[in-house]
Amino acid sequence: MGEDLSGAMTSLTLRVGDLAGEWDRTGLIPPELLRDLGAEGRLCAEVPEQYGGWGLSSLHSGAYTAHAGGLCSSLRSVMTSQGMAAWTIQRLGTAEQSAGLLPRLTGGALAAVGFSEPGAGSDLAAMTTTVRRDGDTVVVDGHKKWVTAAHYADLLVVVGRHEDGAVAVVVPTGTPGVRVERITDPLGCRAAGHADVHLDGVRLPADSVLGGHGLPTALLVTTALAYGRMSVAWGCVGILRACLSAATAHATVREQFGRPLAEHQLVAGHIADLYTAEQVATRVCEYAGRCWDEGSPDQVVATVLAKQVSATQAARGAATAVQVLASAGSRDGHTVARAYRDAKLMEIIEGSSELCRLMLAQHALSAPGAP
Ligand SMILES: Cc1cc2nc3c(=O)[nH]c(=O)nc-3n(C[C@H](O)[C@H](O)[C@H](O)COP(=O)(O)OP(=O)(O)OC[C@H]3O[C@@H](n4cnc5c(N)ncnc54)[C@H](O)[C@@H]3O)c2cc1C
């Protein structure tokens, strides 16, 4: 595939066409389309070529993710889940597990990642899902909530308690004891296939545990979430680009008081704010992407910063875009109406804005005066 992305982006644009609004209204992306996109390696583009992926750098993958996010946040959410599952397998799994599982994820199988539980949202240390060894099997019991893409998934990467720490275990959704219960009325990303997952005595081969042993919960969670944060941050850049494009197009054409909206300074101010938001989010994401590609020690904090800035800017920017379009953008399925609902959720997932701010404060306080 290399890293010439313009052809890949154009072809994704053609595949989505003008269907994102309809997917949002019906709450469903056709599963066969997702499988086709997955089999073309499009849903987890950073997976190395040896496993059938595109082997993109973090920066190039980010550019592609932003493009997807501008087209359809539900599709981008499915990409984020697939990419996070692949990343977790790559980082925590053995070479044999990577060789067995990653070609499935680049071959059309769909995956989702479950951390959250009824009593463990921001505080993942409170997880109660257990992964218990029993001879040459493991038994998984628990309840995961709000798992993006679980409705479509063939495989779930489930995080649970194991001995003194935590493990990630790969659970085929067809295994006896797995029940996937669709969330039918999410505020946004309505076609992303969110679901609650019930795991009752789910027995799996012991080699379903990634890496075969437990890790400290915080380390495991941070490792898996890092990819998700980066992906969501770039998705927010896409939301901002779509909003900027819709707002400038509308403000140029729509006339009130005898001239285009864009010639009214308060409306032009909204356009300037949107442009600023898009540029700021893009720059922090680019910085974080470079940190990933260079293996910089700043990678973790740069990723949290990118997620925090991009999500905040996207939520504010989408509201601004709705204001510029007013009634023209106030219907379900319209680009800016979708963006408004989708962007709000970006402030909640992969570490809420409050949790990101706490992490950034902790970083700043640990190195006072440092840039
Ligand atoms: C659209 C969507 C997609 C999701 N996808 C997934 C997924 O794929 N996999 C998965 O496992 N989970 C997923 N989740 C769950 C998501 O990770 C949690 O919603 C998130 O971690 C917040 O947890 P909570 O909703 O229980 O809120 P709570 O933890 O109850 O928090 C409520 C509020 O209090 C704040 N708060 C909590 N603790 C503190 C604190 N110490 N200091 C300051 N503020 C605090 C939070 O920031 C938030 O604003 C998804 C959720 C949504 C809405």
- Tens of pLDDT along 150-191? 999 999 999 999 988 999 999 999 999 999 999 999 999 999
Q: Whose CA is nearest to atom 45 of ligand 1?
A: 354
Place of tokens 């004891």: 177
Decide if pLDDT at 275 tops 50: yes
Distance CA 43, CA 125 (A): 29
- Tens of pLDDT along 77-95? 999 999 999 999 999 999 9
| Mutation test residue for ligand 1: of 349, 353, 359, the one with most atoms within 8 Å of CB | 349
Report which ligand 1 atom has the smallest distance to the Cα of 144. Answer: 11
Share of the chain above pLDDT 70, in %: 98
What was the pLDDT predicted at 2?
A: 46
Decide if pLDDT at 76 tops 70: yes
Cβ of 115 less than 6 Å from ligand 1 = yes
Q: Whose CA is nearest to atom 12 of ligand 1?
A: 116
Place of tokens 């495991």: 220
- Tens of pLDDT along 315-347? 999 999 999 999 999 998 899 999 999 999 999
What was the pLDDT predicted at 273?
A: 98
What was the pLDDT predicted at 370?
A: 58
Report which ligand 1 atom has the smallest distance to the Cα of 187. Answer: 1
- Residue 131 Cα, ligand 1 centroid: separation in angstroms? 23
Among the ranges given (66-70, 149-153, 212-216), the one the predictor scored with the smallest mean pLDDT: 212-216
Share of the chain above pLDDT 90, in %: 96
What was the pLDDT predicted at 164?
A: 87
**How much is the average pLDDT of 38-53?**
96
Q: Which of 138, 152, 228 is nearest to 197 (CA)?
A: 152
**pLDDT tier, 367 (very low <50, low <70, confident <90, very high otherwise):** confident
Q: Whose CA is nearest to atom 14 of ligand 1?
A: 146
Mean confidence (pLDDT) of the chain:
96
Cβ of 90 less than 6 Å from ligand 1 = no
Q: For the chain, how many helices (H) and strands (E)?
A: 11, 9
Place of tokens 């990467």: 157
Q: Which of 115, 100, 109 is nearest to 44 (CA)?
A: 109
**pLDDT tier, 369 (very low <50, low <70, confident <90, very high otherwise):** low
In this structure, what are the phi and psi dihedrals at residue 354, rounded to the nearest 5 degrees?
Answer: -65, -45
Contact 76, 237 (CB under 8 A): no
**pLDDT tier, 70 (very low <50, low <70, confident <90, very high otherwise):** very high
Cβ of 111 less than 6 Å from ligand 1 = no
Instruction: Please classify residue 4 by burial: count the beta carbons closer than 10 Å to its beta carbon, then call 0-12 exposed, 13-18 middle and 19+ buried.
Output: exposed
Decide if pLDDT at 3 tops 80: no
**How much is the average pLDDT of 219-228?**
94
Report which ligand 1 atom has the smallest distance to the Cα of 357. Answer: 43
